[in-house]
C-alpha cells in the first residue's frame, strides 16, 4: 500500500538552510512532489521530481531522491520568514492523478 | 487568469444532512480531482474526473459522489453527513488526466458538521 511519512515540525533561523525529510513506501512511485500550504490557502506545488532522477534544483529549492531507501528531501536555502508554512511530500504511482500526501511538516522560521 | 474557484468558502451542516460543493477549473483544464483534508493531516484523494467520466476513486464510502459537467466544472456530493466529514475539501484541476500533469488547487471549502 501507499504511505508517506514526514516529521511534524521544523524550526530554523532566518537565513539558515531548512531540510525537510520524507519517506514513502510505494516502490512504483513515478512522481514525487513537494507542496506548500499557508494558513487559509490552498496547496501550492513547489517542485516535483521524476523517479529516475536523483536531484533537482530550482532557485533556492533542492530536491534529493534516494530511490533505494525511498527517501525524499527538500532543502530550502537562505530560509525567509515567508517560507513559514506546512510542507507536504506527496507521491503518484497510478496511471491517473491519485496523489498520496504525507501528514505535512510545519516549518517555523525564527527572525 | 482565474485560478481554480470553489464555492461556498465555508459551510455548516448538521449530522444526517446532505451537502453539495462546487468547483470551477482553470479555463482549458479538463480534469478535476477532489481531496479531503482533515485538520492536522494531509489531503486524501476522493475522486478524479476527466471529460465527464470518473477516472479514479479513493477509499471513501458510497455517501460520497461526484460528477463533472460539459463545461468541466464539478460537484462533490456527500449524503448522510457524519461528524467525521468535517474537513477542508480541496478541488484541483489539470490539463489532462495524466499522472505527470501539474494539479492546481483551489482554496477549498471548509465544511463543519455539527
Neighbours of A44 (CB within 10 A): 13
Q: Residues in chain B with pLDDT < 70?
A: 1
pLDDT given at position A41 = 78
* List of chain B residues whose C-beta atoms are within 8 Å of the C-beta of residue A98: 45, 48, 56, 58
Q: Report how far residue B104's alpha carbon sits from residue A83's, in angstroms, rounded to the nearest whole number.
A: 19
Q: Does B44 touch chain A (CB under 8 A)?
A: yes
pLDDT given at position A2 = 65
Q: What is the pLDDT of residues A60-94, one digit of tens each?
A: 999 999 999 999 999 999 999 999 999 999 998 76
Closest CA to B71 of B56, B52, B89: B52
Q: Does A18 touch chain B (CB under 8 A)?
A: no
Whether pLDDT at A56 is above 90: yes
Whether pLDDT at A1 is above 60: no
Q: Report how far residue B90's alpha carbon sits from residue B78's, in angstroms, rounded to the nearest whole number.
A: 14
Say if CB A96 and CB B97 are below 8 A apart.
yes
* List of chain A residues whose C-beta atoms are within 8 Å of the C-beta of residue B41: 103-104
User: Which chain A residue has the Cα nearest residue B36?
Assistant: A101
* List of chain A residues whose C-beta atoms are within 8 Å of the C-beta of residue B56: 94, 96-98
At A95, the pLDDT band (50, 70, 90 cuts) reads low
Q: What percent of chain A is predicted at pLDDT more than 70?
A: 96
The C-alpha of B12 sits at a distance from chain A's nearest C-alpha, in angstroms, of 17
Amino acid at each position: 500500500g501507499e504511505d508517506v511519512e514526514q516529521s511534524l515540525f521544523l524550526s530554523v533561523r532566518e537565513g539558515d538552510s531548512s531540510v525537510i525529510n520524507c519517506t514513502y513506501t510505494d516502490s512504483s512511485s513515478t512522481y514525487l512532489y513537494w507542496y506548500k500550504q499557508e494558513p487559509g490557502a490552498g496547496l501550492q506545488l513547489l517542485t516535483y521530481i521524476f523517479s529516475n532522477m536523483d536531484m533537482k534544483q530550482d532557485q533556492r529549492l533542492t530536491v534529493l531522491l534516494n530511490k533505494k531507501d525511498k527517501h525524499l528531501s527538500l532543502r530550502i536555502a537562505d530560509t525567509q520568514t515567508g517560507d513559514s508554512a506546512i510542507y507536504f511530500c506527496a507521491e503518484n504511482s497510478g496511471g491517473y492523478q491519485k496523489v498520496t500526501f504525507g501528514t505535512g511538516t510545519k516549518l517555523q522560521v525564527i527572525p | 487568469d482565474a485560478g481554480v474557484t470553489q464555492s461556498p468558502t465555508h459551510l455548516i451542516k448538521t449530522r444526517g444532512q446532505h451537502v453539495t460543493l462546487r468547483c470551477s477549473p482553470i479555463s482549458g483544464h479538463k480534469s478535476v480531482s477532489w481531496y479531503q483534508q482533515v485538520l492536522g493531516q494531509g489531503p486524501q484523494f476522493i475522486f478524479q474526473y476527466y471529460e465527464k467520466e470518473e477516472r479514479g476513486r479513493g477509499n471513501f464510502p458510497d455517501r460520497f459522489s461526484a460528477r463533472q459537467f460539459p463545461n468541466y466544472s464539478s460537484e462533490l456530493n456527500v449524503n448522510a453527513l457524519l461528524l467525521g466529514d468535517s474537513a477542508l475539501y480541496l478541488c484541483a484541476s489539470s490539463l489532462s488526466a495524466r499522472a505527470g500533469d501539474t494539479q492546481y488547487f483551489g482554496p477549498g471549502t471548509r465544511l463543519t458538521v455539527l
